[in-house]
Amino acid sequence: MADLSCNLGGIRSPNPFWLASGPPSNSGEQVARAFDQGWGGAVWKTVGEPIINTTSRYSSIDWNGQRMMGLNNIELISDRPIEENLREIREVKRRYPDQAVVVSLMVDSTRKAWHDIVKRTEDTGCDGLELNFGCPHGMSERGMGAAVGQVPEYTCQITAWVKEVARTPVIVKLTPNTSDVRYIARAAQKGGADAISLINTLNSITGIDLDTFVPRPNVGGMSTHGGYCGPAVKPIALNMVSSAALDPEFHIPISGIGGIATWRDAVEFILLGAGTVQVCTAVMHYGFRIIRDMLEGLEFYLEEKGFQSLNELRGRSLPHLTDWGNLDLNYRIVAKIDPETCIGCQLCYVACWDGAHQCIHLREDRRVPLIDEVECVGCNLCALVCPVEDCITMAQVPGPAGKMSWNALRSGRS
């Protein structure tokens, strides 16, 4: 069996799958049930001065028959008393010594407030802290959450305050609502963070009721922007994780978050440098039991690839990422249609003519469209829209000799 154990900046867990800070980790009873199912760790729902939540909190985007492709929430941090949370954290860690218990924190932006909450939290015996610098709604209007995480100086300063007293590893959770996440990651590192986690949720309004004109979720005829998560945000999260991992000025571990619902999703994050992965929306949708398929799938994948541990897998996709200007402009592919599996729907033709480069043609004598390989630019659109798997494939064909890139051309001109 492959070794799934992890060490994220000093926080150890039996496998890389953690509950992300959110509704599934709101109580000791929930975290205990998750650990019984096999989750390797949990980041406790953000602890701070209790707030009052609204009674309409979520809205979603459904797509092509899939519910909750994207989930929007306006829920804030824990509305339970701090002492109640700390008592349950202590009990869960006592009962599950091998699982990682990390506590998400958010308090007023003062040294005293942070010192106090860190000391009280670490007295529970937790394994680490996660500083919530990412919440994009509600708390940010109070000078916390994303209001901190969008300003490198604030991120660095508060992280440094925490590290003055923290005895356990400190993770800084980053907001995606910024122009370049690398600056915030560097600031967290400069402040002394042992690791970062990303991404938190994106600012969003998921939809509007066309009869009442009220955006969702409806709170007494009013609404507000919320945090967007779920499968729809995974591409954004993957990009931001890779941006931090590839940054030559950044060198601390990463916990990946954003749209993870399967073992395949987790592998993609690990291939881009993540040490652990955190899951929230998928658990809200399907429950804690999804961990069974995640663990079995990851173990099987590692064994199939001949890897003994996650360390052998981590970051293997990073060497395959580069700036656009370094891509080989002489590399050429064209579309190929398999006549045996083509159903003659002509969707590839419509897509090519109306949305791409007019390289596919219809023939009166045959139902299978014809691809003009000389004109085909290899954009992939026809293969992406085709409803039959592997009916349209992209095949490499000879191009100009040698490699050529935009950066090389520009360098030659200069």
The token pair at 308 is 């003994």
Angle between helices 82-95 and 111-122 (to 10 degrees): 40
Which residues on neighbouring strands pair with residue 173, listed in sequence order? 132, 197
Residue type, position 32, single letter: A
| 3-class DSSP state of 358 | coil
Map tokens 């990009």 to a residue.
239
- Distances from the Cα of 251 to the Cα of 191, 199, 246, angstroms: 13, 17, 9
- Distances from the Cα of 369 to the Cα of 89, 362, 394, angstroms: 62, 5, 15
- Distances from the Cα of 291 to the Cα of 16, 36, 52, 80, 98, angstroms: 11, 10, 31, 27, 17
The token pair at 250 is 């950044």
Is 297 buried (19+), middle (13-18) or exposed (0-12) by CB count in 10 A? Answer: middle
Is the CB of residue 338 less than 8 Å from the CB of residue 392? yes
DSSP character for 24? G
Which residues on neighbouring strands pair with residue 44, listed in sequence order? 103
157 Cβ contact list (under 8 Å, min separation 6): 191
Give the E-state strand segments of 106-253 in sequence order: 128-132, 170-173, 195-198, 202-204, 226-229
Helix (H) or strand (E) holding 243: helix 234-246
- State residue 4 phi and psi, 5-degree precision: -100, 5
How would you label 155-193 residue by residue, b for 16+ Cβ within 10 Å and e otherwise?
Answer: bbbbbbbbbeebebbbbbbbbbbbeebbebbbbbbbbbb
Given 6, 126, 135, 342, which residue is catalytic?
A: 135
Going by C-alpha positions, the residue among 337, 91, 346, 136 that lies closest to residue 227 is 136
Map tokens 């799958």 to a residue.
17
The token pair at 114 is 């942070």
**Annotation marks residue 135 as catalytic:** yes
Give catalytic residues, as residue numbers. 135
